[in-house]
Structure 1
Amino acid sequence: MNCAIFAIGNEILEGSITDTNSTYLAKHLTDLGFKIVEIKALPDNKEILVDNFTYALKNYDLTITTGGLGPTFDDLTAETVALAANREFIFYEDVYKSIENKLAVRGVKIKESHKHQAYLPKDAILFQNDKGTAVGFCVENSGSLIISLPGIPYEMKHMFENYVVPFLKNRFDLKPIYKKDLKFIGIPESDVDEAIINTEKSDDTEVIINTSKGMIIVRIRSYNYEKLMAFAEKLKDKLNKFYFGEDDDTLESVILKKLIAKNITISTAESCTGGLIAKKLTDIPGSSKSFLGSIVSYSNDAKNNILNVSKETLEKFGAVSEECCKEMLTGCKKIFNSDIVIATTGIAGPDGGTKDKPVGTVFVGINMKDKVFIKKYLFNGDREAIRERTANIAFRNLLELLSE
């Protein structure tokens, strides 16, 4: 079943808001068995909307729209869907009464403009809005459906999950698609691509590669579970050295499971990452079973006064150095007495780089049961990317040490 998703609103096209609705819908519709063939942002323009809806009704089994169902003059979705589907645009008295009641409960005085939300395509299937005033609706034309949902994310999600999904399951003979995401780190994308090309797979198995700040995710999709798993296992075997998890696994969640299982404690001393490693660990419920604490020693004074990095080291080698990183590990170890310490110090940019230490220069250290491992890296990317890459490489190095 081919499906399109249209996000409607000038505010999306000008970048005032981020369209998270389309991402949410694409994921959930794919899980249901629909094939997403188009995702598009459309302006609050009557002619453009009618043209796109008309095309969609001729070419797609299902089109989902979000936005443009409000009470203002530029909310044109219902009217333009009616025009594209050759439906009358009529006033629904019961919808208007529902809007009146909802606004009265909230102490909002009804306005003439609120009637606009009660005008919908004739004979539309309506979807109740438990979170707001704009009802959703569905129209059909020659077997093709357009379903229009509110643009406010929490309204849209509630309506979709509670009313649209049951409707779609009843309306279509859906064949669920099976999914498996394999996650790798420490290997070039080209090597993963080569491994995929040289691994036998069935014609109905689709493979996508995504890269993100040093990690590679191989997304495998198929309507046949056995064929999907067979391909996934072959690829894992080929790239086993770089494989760390799948689906919802993250580097930090895999590491934390290992630490808790082995009753190992950990702490961090962070400079350039600004507490990012600690945040990633403490985002995981139950992290207190292993994670003891963190020192974010951003300034030289903090490194000296809290972690006891010597002034001589800072003056001779600088804060971004192997020597400083080693003393940060030692200082953090003394404070928390954890089995493992991670330390990071570097230049995340955009300023602060020199010829000898350009932006992206980072030292990552690990003290694991009193054995010290420190490596120097030169990362590219902006400030956020360098910080993320630093955190990820720290986790990767620790994962390797834990696997030995």
Structure 2
Amino acid sequence: MAIYNNILELIGETPIVRINHLDTGPCELYIKLELQNPGGSVKDRIGLKLIEDAEARGDLRPGMTIVEGTAGNTGLALALVAAQKGYRLLLVIPDKMSHEKIAVLKAMGAEVIMTRSDVARGHPEYYLDMGRSLAEEINAGVEAGGDGQGAWFVNQFSNPSNPAAHEESTGPEIWRQMDADLDAIVLGAGSSGTLAGISAWAAKHAPELELILADPEGSILTEYVNTGSYKDKSASWKVEGIGEDFLPDISDFSRVQKAFSISDTESFHTVRELLHHEGIMAGSSTGTLLAAALQYCREQTEPKKVLTLAADTGNRYLSKVYNDRWMREQGLMETPFFGDLRDLIARPWDEKETVVVGPKEPLGNAFGRMRLYDVSQLPVMDGSELVGLITDEDMLNAI
């Protein structure tokens, strides 16, 4: 039995599984389980590479603070590596990130600053610009005689170590695992490191390999790949970690043959189908990748071998993708209509999550639920019957 020296040695060599129960047309579709990396995503590969290359260059030294703006799993990967190497980590993340990811980041010791997800690059509250500014502030303080060793801004969107990680590991690993028998690969792009790195590897070693982009609706990348041009725009989508409103410096879409634009609704329903039919619990971006891969496969007239990624674990999306109530609130799933009181209560009674109080419950229970769910009144339910309403004013008067 192999024994590893530390958790970082487990990064990479993730398995590939064939999709058996979804409609793949004439094609064979495979999915590489990057969610089995120790940090739970494909970004573990770049987290290690970014930090080790910075150490080798002398840009990152003991005692320094690592700073990054991240909209996805790069923060978790950096947290994994930073914890092992003893660095302080400061992350700026947009407010659409799932509660589970934020909780894991904090549990791993990262300091998290939340910012807006509805602003474009150049805005002071855009997560990348804010991250850069924080690193500059830390370094300015050190130069002025303050405490600390300064900060290193990761800058994954411009850092060549990002695509290099995938050119050196992910690309050749896939090719070896598939016995050099693969026709197309479907990838997403956020920082675009995965796509750029695999593209660079394929150009040298597998020039016939087709590259397909899976992109969230609202991102500029589909238009850029399919037409060669794009319009600046500020849009938002609920899928985390992929899609962009600008072209990252490290991006290279020159070998991408086609892009598919996938809606949030299709992405989320597809990843839920992946769990239901294949037993693979992946994150929201995997739904985008898989939906695009399925579309590509169904368009083919000849058999092909196609591969995509399960980019991250679904365990960090229990409050979103795998939560029916959240899906309904976001308009991603139809809300059942009962035609009675249940339609007016914050949590459907039959889901056992109803924000109500019973007539014989202590007043403290009502107070606690009001605080927890940030409401000022609660229905008083005796079984399925509404018997009254209690408000925060009622409680104050009772006290």
Q: Indicate the TM-score class for this superposition, using the shorter chain for normalisation.
A: under 0.3
* TM-score of the aligned structures, taking structure 1 as reference length: 0.23
Q: Quick check: which has more Rg, 1 or 2? A: 1
Report which of the two has the higher share of strand: 1
User: 1 or 2 for the larger relative contact order (CA 8 Å, sep ≥6)?
Assistant: 2
* TM-score of the aligned structures, taking structure 2 as reference length: 0.23
